[in-house]
Chains A and B, each alone.
Chain A
Amino acid sequence: MASLTPQVTTPAVPGTAPARPGRPRRPRVWRGVVLLLAAVYFLVPLIASFVFTVKAPDQGFSLDAYGEIFSAEGFAGSLLLSLGLGAATIVIVLLLTLPAVVAVRLGAPRWRPVLEVVCTLPLVVPPITFVAGISTVLRWGPDYLASTPFYQTIIAVQDPGFPIVLVLAYVVLALPFAYRSLDAGLGAIDVRTLSEAARNLGASWPHVLLRVIVPNMRSAMAGASFLTLALVLGEFTIARLLSFQTFPVWIYTISGAHAQVSVAVSVFSLLITWLLLLALSSAGARQRSGS
């Protein structure tokens, strides 16, 4: 996606560096070629989708499909549900991963590979396997347990208004991305010295985490949040198989009836995602500059 943001590269103009033979210029040319290829790869489907949505059979250009998005039934509900799920997932995944990554780095560096493997595991489990497991677990509650808190919990996590079970599933799916991002961010600061300096000045461990480590990891946390949000806004398999009406599922549902509208929604959701990325990364960048 990053390749889509307009990048100002100074193109190598052939023949402008007379003294030096082509060698130092070469990488630039290749950079341009790679950028172009990547741009084509990403842009062509996007432009094709866009053209499809604005081309009405009779009157040429029309933005009607985009207008219809907002009036389509279930749009607002499903979008808000997905955003809510995304927010909840971000909070939980950060609360889980950040202290774990910090603790391992400070207290048990030898366990780092273990944490890394555990956090990467969700990438290798196919979503279909994952969801099969979840639905099996959800069917555990036999009827004679109907009056117990256990059964009620199982019912509660499947509330279609806000399915907590999806949040839990997404937390697992988001772990690899959150872990990578936070671990890289932690690598950029000298956590040990900073936390020791803060301890030496009387700070308790929670204080160290909130006042010293978190403020210096804003951009890494923004990155983790963005990846998580992108994941939640695009996740289809699990939501669909557990029959929850999230945004991607809604897009799929209406695509049967209004093909044009569904593609318009896809383009629209990409746009939303980019705007969120922009907001998050600029928030991170502002923190970096420190003022």
Chain B
Amino acid sequence: MNGARVEFRGLRRRFGSTVALDGLDLTVEPGELIALLGPSGCGKTTALRCLAGFEQPDEGEVLVDGADITRVPANRRDAGMVFQSYSLFPNLNARDNVGFGMRVRKTPAARRHARAQELLELVGLPDVGGRYPHQLSGGQQQRVALARALALEPRVLLLDEPLSALDAKVRVTLREEIRRLQLSLGITTIFVTHDQEEALSMADRVAVLRDGRLEQVADPATLYDRPATPFVAEFVGAMNHLPGLLSGDQVTVLGQTLPVEGPRPAGPEADVLVRPEAVLVVPDGEGEGMVVVSSFRGSTARLRVRLGDGAEVLADVPGHDSARLAPGTAVRVRLVERPVLVSARTATGVTAAVPEPDAVA
């Protein structure tokens, strides 16, 4: 089983007055797991459905290994899909669900059952073959759905938020298993998600979409450390915008002078982008900062600190420090000594588009 190269070229799709895809260009390398990440309505699911054949783009084309499949009917495409909602056929047991595609292709029953059993073992459910979907838990159903999608040995695997209906613990184990399986099979996989933690932890590369256009596509570490646009910076993780003064290769922020990395805006006044985990907070009776809110997350705690000039900054501190950094504590704030990104001056403040993960790759 080998992965195919998938290319989206200038994909456009509009539903009435809303534009779902606005000239999307993206190439997925063979064997790669790419995550399409973005807020709802950004077009990520539409892109996936164009590849599956459930949606026709108004313009542009979808290529698999160089062949244009834009007009190929959905049932003749070489892509297995796992859906967001539970999609197992309620009238068939797990084994027959997995064997459905083989049955369509008229594979003899004995071979079909053997192969279905093999796949159920692959997804870690060797004993549920005779059970019906309503007898399976949500996580088991999605595993069976994954086995079903892999049954025909497709060269592309499409995952449309397959974990969003599951509870947190199952979600984490299942995503690790999907990744393990994907790596061992070497199948090109496109994973649609609105959960940045999922995207960053699973994908080889993450494509951030916004309003039907590609904002940035990069490996998770680059995406997190070097967001190409303010939107990406704010959508992936939380980001502090702190006022700073540029001078040459250096920027002065909160009384510290740090080297600048990447492009720098023209004027001397700039926003310095700092992740919450790069903000150090120390209790200090003389300090001019004050902890306003503290939310404990186990391994870390996220603090909202009000500075002397009224600006607020988010800081992640180790969980065991949260007791001595309770709201109301006077603190001193410092930044980790490392190169920082700066952007043109906007409104000062803290931005976190979505609930962000505690620790990211």
Contact = CB atoms under 8 A, between A and B. Distances in A.
A159 to B, nearest CB: 40
A267 interface: no
B53 interface: yes
Interface in B151-189: 151-152
A202 B75 contact: yes
Count class of interface residues, chain A: 20 to 34
Given A199-B53, A199-B74, A189 B90 contact: yes
Given A199-B54, A200-B149, A194 B100 contact: no
A12 B86 CA distance: 41
Given A216-B90, A290-B91, A200 B85 contact: no
A202 B152 contact: yes
A291 interface: yes
Contact of B83 (A196, A290, A291): A196
A206 to B, nearest CB: 11
B85 A193 contact: yes
A125 interface: no
Contacts of B105: 202
Interface in A167-226: 189-190, 193-194, 196-204, 207, 212, 215-216
B91 A197 contact: no
Contacts of A197: 81, 83, 87-89, 145, 148
A217 to B, nearest CB: 10
B149 to A, nearest CB: 7
A190 B76 CA distance: 22
B89 A194 contact: yes
B243 interface: no
B104 A200 contact: no
A228 to B, nearest CB: 23
Interface of B: 52-54, 73-77, 79-81, 83, 85-91, 100-101, 104-105, 132, 134, 145, 148-149, 151-152
Interface of A: 189-190, 193-194, 196-204, 207, 212, 215-216, 287, 290-291
Given A190-B87, A194-B87, A200-B81, 13 more contacts: A193-B85, A196-B81, A197-B89, A199-B73, A200-B74, A200-B77, A200-B149, A201-B80, A202-B75, A202-B101, A202-B104, A290-B91, A290-B134
